[in-house]
């Protein structure tokens, strides 16, 4: 028996179909080891930055199963992903399972041919790739731990910084400061409705006047003047198809066309890859294999005709791209549609269209510009642009890339146009737009910050840390993000600069290529970095973020107020704090502040309880927090949160609404004595599904579902937890 180990169960399922009965395919379910949370144990800096790995929580059973299978196997094959992360997982598996001579195979697509070819040509674990991943992990931990520790002391407990996350935040804040400093100017847009023979159309003034007097003059002359065609410019142009998708361009296009976030795009792409439908989705290469090009040629000539095919070669933008890697493409180009879910189908069709279009003929179009003057140039000219497709070419395969077409009527130079009406719209100049997730990915790639596999994680980290908020597709920096970025820009300018971050990425690439040493890279970085951090230990704690507006005085003592930072963001505090606890929101509304209760803490018995304001309302906690972590919800707030549904585990408490780091959930009011919790709001009914394993009905609480599943069982082990699957099995 030969044992093949991959990362995900879905990937294992697909590969198992392509290998014979002699092979057993199992999944490690991602990483089996990681650095411990405590940095003191994680990295032995004195011993050449040696990392100390621990078995990931919950992976004990996986390791036990794989160890037993490996001992029985004649051969162990590690088939983890084709990148640094995959190489690291393979190495960790080899170390933990005690494998002496494991075979390492890689493939960029999960097809029968690719998998069997990989099995026929195994190699050893690539130590350079593994070291590059380890160096990135160690660097990120050292930077994050040291910088975060300093920020905790100087700004606020619980904040963090990161080697790539912080430069990304700085880019967002630089744009935000441009927006704040922007001074709008008034201008006017003037349009005119005219007609040529029987065809009406609208012209735009070539100037946008800043003075009202000039606007009035143009309107007056326009209403009475003669509108004559001064020039008609016709230019035949070609539009070349775009390169096949890389990770970055896929994330950008999926955002603009489908509205998917980078993390969602990568999640869907991962499913498509594991199902064997697309090639590996973490790549910065635009290269297509000869076999793929042959498939595309066959599809194009058969579907659209010989004149639609044109071979193109694309140069990858990244200087470190390995051309042996491929762009993201369908594994079988003849399949125009594939995927299980609606999201998978949409993303697959997007990838298919871009791949096929990349090897098609240029589209040809006629661009037309009509210039019209009034009274032989008495006022600025008016014009209109239009286009007409002469040959659609690659746009027939990717029509969503077409854009709007505005075909103009046929007119001749010197022709007099009939004037109908003139319109004036007053506007203001606009500041530069904030970044969307797609826009930030593009900017990071342009500045060579991060790598394809890290973009989605960067976005998620910024949102999870509360440094950025997503409103629609737009990223808005929070007050917390502003303060953290400003602190880092002031004190660690070099370490969050574009050039330094990009150079460090290049050094990691050189480790992967065997051109640079792991230990030397870390020493060269960490020595100066740790000195820089230590030199900032003497700076004062930043508790004052500036004076609040004079019109907002302390609601308790009437004195001036200052801005401070809390977990919820900026707020106004009395300048005499802690003598006075007066506080306001940034909008000026009074905050009640903490209130001491005449009740001792039931946990420590040493301090009084305090009533405080939290992100989700009032709560009661020990005055000695964080030494004593006793906390309970305010009685009034708790009453509002009760659902009226009795807990079916302890039968004492009621299920109540709560909020955690992952959003809303419902748990027993008797917590911590009863820790029963469910994901959605209970309906008040219990599950009546007959379960053989329980010898009777399930009895778990039913909870609200979705539009397609109005109600479902809260017990994940119950088939009624997913009624769709239950119905299908029947």
Active site residues: 280
Find, among 352, 256, 213, the residue nearest to 296 by Cα.
Answer: 352
DSSP bridge pairs for 385: 369
Q: How far is the C-alpha of 372 from the C-alpha of 226, rounded, in Å?
A: 10
User: Do residues 276 and 14 lie in contact, with contact meaning Cβ atoms separated by under 8 Å?
Assistant: yes
DSSP bridge pairs for 34: 54
- CA–centroid distance for 452 within its chain: 12
Phi, psi of 424 (to 5 degrees): -125, 130
3-state secondary structure of 341: coil
Query: ∠ at Cα 369 (365, 375), nearest 5°?
Result: 165
Q: What is the dihedral sign for C-alpha 70, 73, 78, 79?
A: negative
For 541-559, b/e burial (b = at least 16 CB within 10 A) is ebeebeebeeebbbbeeee
Q: What is the DSSP string of 466-492?
A: TSEEEETTEEEE-HHHHHHHHHHHHH-
Which helix (DSSP H) or strand (DSSP E) does residue 244 occupy? none
Structure tokens at 121: 């040509």
Which helix (DSSP H) or strand (DSSP E) does residue 279 occupy? none
Structure tokens at 307: 């004149």
Q: What is the dihedral sign for C-alpha 163, 165, 168, 169?
A: negative
Find, among 87, 84, 93, the residue nearest to 29 by Cα.
Answer: 93
Structure tokens at 197: 């023979």
Look at phi and psi of residue 569 and say left if phi exceeds 0, alpha if psi is from -120 to 50, else beta. Answer: left
In 10 A of CB 60, how many CB atoms? 11
Q: How far is the C-alpha of 35 from the C-alpha of 475, rounded, in Å?
A: 31
3-state secondary structure of 461: helix
Phi, psi of 630 (to 5 degrees): -65, 130
Q: How far apart are the first and last CA of the chain?
A: 36
Find, among 419, 413, 406, 410, the residue nearest to 371 by Cα.
Answer: 413
- CA–centroid distance for 135 within its chain: 24
Strand 75-78 and strand 2-6: the pairing is parallel
Q: How far is the C-alpha of 214 from the C-alpha of 219, rounded, in Å?
A: 9
Q: How far is the C-alpha of 347 from the C-alpha of 598, rounded, in Å?
A: 60
- CA–centroid distance for 603 within its chain: 41
3-state secondary structure of 268: helix
Q: How much of the chain is helix, strand and coil, in % rounded to 5?
A: 35, 25, 40
User: Do residues 657 and 679 lie in contact, with contact meaning Cβ atoms separated by under 8 Å?
Assistant: no
Q: How far is the C-alpha of 247 from the C-alpha of 367, rounded, in Å?
A: 33
Phi, psi of 139 (to 5 degrees): -60, -45
Burial class (CB in 10 A: 0-12, 13-18, 19+), 581: middle
3-class secondary structure for 527-583? HHHHHHHHHCCCCCCCCCCCECCCCCCCCCCCCCEEEEEECCEEEEEECCCCCCCCE
3-state secondary structure of 388: strand
User: Do residues 105 and 87 lie in contact, with contact meaning Cβ atoms separated by under 8 Å?
Assistant: no
């Amino acid at each position: 028996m030969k044992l093949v180990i991959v990362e995900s169960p879905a990937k294992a399922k697909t590969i198992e179909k392509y290998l014979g009965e002699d092979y057993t395919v199992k999944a490690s379910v991602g990483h089996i080891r990681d650095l411990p949370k405590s940095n003191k144990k994680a990295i032995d800096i004195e011993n050449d930055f040696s990392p100390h790995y621990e078995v990931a929580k919950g992976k004990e059973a996986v390791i036990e199963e794989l160890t037993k299978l490996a001992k029985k196997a004649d051969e162990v094959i590690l088939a983890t992903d084709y990148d640094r992360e995959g190489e690291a997982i393979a190495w960790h598996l080899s170390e933990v399972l005690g494998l002496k001579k494991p075979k390492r195979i890689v493939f960029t697509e999960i097809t029968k041919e690719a998998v069997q070819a990989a099995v026929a040509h195994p190699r050893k674990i690539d130590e350079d790739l593994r070291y590059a991943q380890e160096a990135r992990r160690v660097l990120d931990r050292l930077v994050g731990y040291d910088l975060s520790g300093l920020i905790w002391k100087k700004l606020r407990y619980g904040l963090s910084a990161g080697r790539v996350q912080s430069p990304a935040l700085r880019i967002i804040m630089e744009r935000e400061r441009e927006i704040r400093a922007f001074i709008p100017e008034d201008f006017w847009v003037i349009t005119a409705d005219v007609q040529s023979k029987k065809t009406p159309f609208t012209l735009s003034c070539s100037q946008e006047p800043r003075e009202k007097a000039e606007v009035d003059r143009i309107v007056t002359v326009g209403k009475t003047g003669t509108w004559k065609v001064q020039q008609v410019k016709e230019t035949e142009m070609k539009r070349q198809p775009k390169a096949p998708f890389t990770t970055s361009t896929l994330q950008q296009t999926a955002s603009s066309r489908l509205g998917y976030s980078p993390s969602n795009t990568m999640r869907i792409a991962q499913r498509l890859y594991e199902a064997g439908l697309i090639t590996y989705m973490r790549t910065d290469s635009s290269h297509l294999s000869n076999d793929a090009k042959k498939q595309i040629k066959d599809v194009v000539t058969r579907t659209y005709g010989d004149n639609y095919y044109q071979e193109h070669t694309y140069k990858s933008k990244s200087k470190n791209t390995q051309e042996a890697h491929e762009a993201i493409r369908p594994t079988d180009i003849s399949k125009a549609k594939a995927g299980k879910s609606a999201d998978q189908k949409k993303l697959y069709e997007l990838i298919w269209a871009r791949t096929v279009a990349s090897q098609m003929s240029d589209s040809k179009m006629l661009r037309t510009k009509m210039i019209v003057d009034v009274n032989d140039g008495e006022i600025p000219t008016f014009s209109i642009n239009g286009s007409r497709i002469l040959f659609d070419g690659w746009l027939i395969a990717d029509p969503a890339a077409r854009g709007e077409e505005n075909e103009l009527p046929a007119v001749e130079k010197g022709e007099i146009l009939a004037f109908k009406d003139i319109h004036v719209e007053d506007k203001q100049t606009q500041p530069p737009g904030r970044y969307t997730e797609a826009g930030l990915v593009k900017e990071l790639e342009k500045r060579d910050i991060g790598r394809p596999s890290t973009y989605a994680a960067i976005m998620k980290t910024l949102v999870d840390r509360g440094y950025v908020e997503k409103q629609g597709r737009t990223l808005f920096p929070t007050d917390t993000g502003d303060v953290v970025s400003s602190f880092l820009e002031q004190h660690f300018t070099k370490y969050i600069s574009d050039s330094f971050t990009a150079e460090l990425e290049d050094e990691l690439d050189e480790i992967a290529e065997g051109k640079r040493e792991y230990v030397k890279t870390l020493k060269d970085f960490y020595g100066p970095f740790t000195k820089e951090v230590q030199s900032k230990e003497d700076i004062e704690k930043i508790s004052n973020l500036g004076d609040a507006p004079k019109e907002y005085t302390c609601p308790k003592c009437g004195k001036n107020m200052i801005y401070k930072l809390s977990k919820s963001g900026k707020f106004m505090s009395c300048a005499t704090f802690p003598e006075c606890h007066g506080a306001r929101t940034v909008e000026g509304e009074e905050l009640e502040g903490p209130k001491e209760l005449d009740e001792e803490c039931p946990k420590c018995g040493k301090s009084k309880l305090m009533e405080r304001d939290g992100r989700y309302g009032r709560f009661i906690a020990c005055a000695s927090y964080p030494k004593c972590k006793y906390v309970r919800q305010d009685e009034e707030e708790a009453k509002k949160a009760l659902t009226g549904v009795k807990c079916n585990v302890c039968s004492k408490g009621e299920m109540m609404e709560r909020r955690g780091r992952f959003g809303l959930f419902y748990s027993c009011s008797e917590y911590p004595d009863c820790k029963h919790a469910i994901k959605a709001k209970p309906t008040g009914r219990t599950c009546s599904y007959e379960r053989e394993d329980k010898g009777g009905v399930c009895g778990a609480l039913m909870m609200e579902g979705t539009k397609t599943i109005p109600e479902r069982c809260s017990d994940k082990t119950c088939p009624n937890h997913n009624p769709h699957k239950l119905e299908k099995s029947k």
